[in-house]
Structure 1
Amino acid sequence: MIPAAFDYKRAGSSEEAVALIAEYGDEAKFLAGGHSLLPMMKLRLAVPTVLVDIGRVGDLSYIDDRDDHIAIGALATHRSLETSELLIAECPILAHVASKVGDPQVRHRGTIGGSLAHSDPASDLPAAVLALGGSLIAQGPNGEREVQVSDFFTGYFESALSDDEMLTEIRMPKAPGDSWNYQKFNRRAQDWAIVGVAAVQVQGTTQVSLVNMGSTPLRAAAVEAALAGGASSVEAAEQAAEGTDAPTDLNASPEYRAHLARVLTRRALEAAGIS
């Protein structure tokens, strides 16, 4: 299908982008890599009258070591995450999950900021970021504010960002070593996950998140509580579907997704060496 008509504005800086969004209000949308927004526009599920292109705002594309955390610019591409020596050393689960997004064309254009702001519960990176914890920086007309990752995803394709804010930075805790794993079940390698599970130990605490098991990416709270209480990985994994609201579609029923969540959680915990 063909998108509805829209005006196009290119921002040269994050400040200009925020000013343009403030000028046009909720009729405007940011355009970064475009791999989430443009398909929705073609289906007329999103009908912005103005697109603010931030794809060439160079100061939002970086991956930096900030001592106690890693700072990632919102326009860092999936490919840059996948190949970052810093992430591979200090936060390997994020680099690995980025390598599982779509295909090479998507990874070279898609951005981490776009993926998170789009808030698709079937997307890989939101679940990985949720498992790690950390915070996100939003910039608006009144300056910056910090949002905890646990508070960012508020609903189906909805986030804590206001209409006049843009996501500028992702701050992730360091989680080096081998105690992590990501399991993704899909039909083809480049497809969205039917169900996915990210498991990682951050400062000695096991954190698990689920892909496509509700209207937002979810922390597997029952699994985490079971592990903290001394349960084995097999026992804890049986709790993976607790508190979820898995969708039904052509790929899977809620019951099948619940089964996948239990199986993939067990595999992720065992592969990460978490028992």
Structure 2
Amino acid sequence: MKPPLKPTLTAPGTLAAKAVAKRPGFPVRLELDAGTPSATKKIAGRAHPERATGTFYQKIPARTALPSGVGLDSRAVRARMVQKLAAQGISDAQVLAAMGHVERHRFVDTALVNQAYEDTSLPIGLGQTISKPNVVARMLELLRQGAGSPAGKLGRVLEIGTGCGYQAAVLAELATEVYSIERLRGLHDKARENLRAFRLANVHLLFGDGMVGYAKGAPYAAIIAAAGGESIPAAWVEQLAVGGRLVAPMHIAGSAQALVVLDKTAQGVTQTVLEAVHFVPLKSGTS
């Protein structure tokens, strides 16, 4: 097994005027989009050999219109999806609002657009899938029910397994800051492209080994994983803040998986096993 590759951080949004929480220092290269009415320029920062580097994309002065995709006006379809989620037991108003706001069809292949708002997982390439809406909403609701969750937004969140970027976009509605790590270069690039036009200043995409987390951004108020292993990696527990909550699938018997909720308190860690789920396997390294 090759050694984990040091995460490379990129961000699909603009630089925030003021950070919502203390974040790790790292040099960045700021690129204005070429071909805009305003002048363009590039400001390069020298990378520190021990720090992650990244690119923040910013358009001045106006925001780029979201891609038209297949011309689908999905507002009514999203509203019906949210109604179904509520009927299935999702009751967190902020989660339902976020699910209703993010256009899921922009994160799936054109051939699958008509299935984008069905309660089903869909392939996104490289043997991976976008989780069905009910599972995404359920896991996000569990995160927000954690003892350390504020009445408003979650604090800094670590997502293991960016995939196509859909869950990161929903998390951006619910958290002050999102670090999302993906081990497959093809999916990392796809998520970066999918999220670029949304200009999510609080989302940072990383390419690296999700099993080791991202220590430079720790501690995290919440951690969520989109792949299941034999156990919860120790690095995730270490990077979770006291009072924080972790939600992830985990093997409980043979090939069976279940959702696991882990709460970290000053007295220790408690683990709760919930309903059965089916996620792709958690793997180490990058590809």
TM norm. shorter chain > 0.5: no
More helix by share: 1
Relative CO higher for 1 or 2, CA cutoff 8 Å, sep ≥ 6? Answer: 2
Q: State TM-score, norm by structure 2.
A: 0.29
Q: State TM-score, norm by structure 1.
A: 0.30
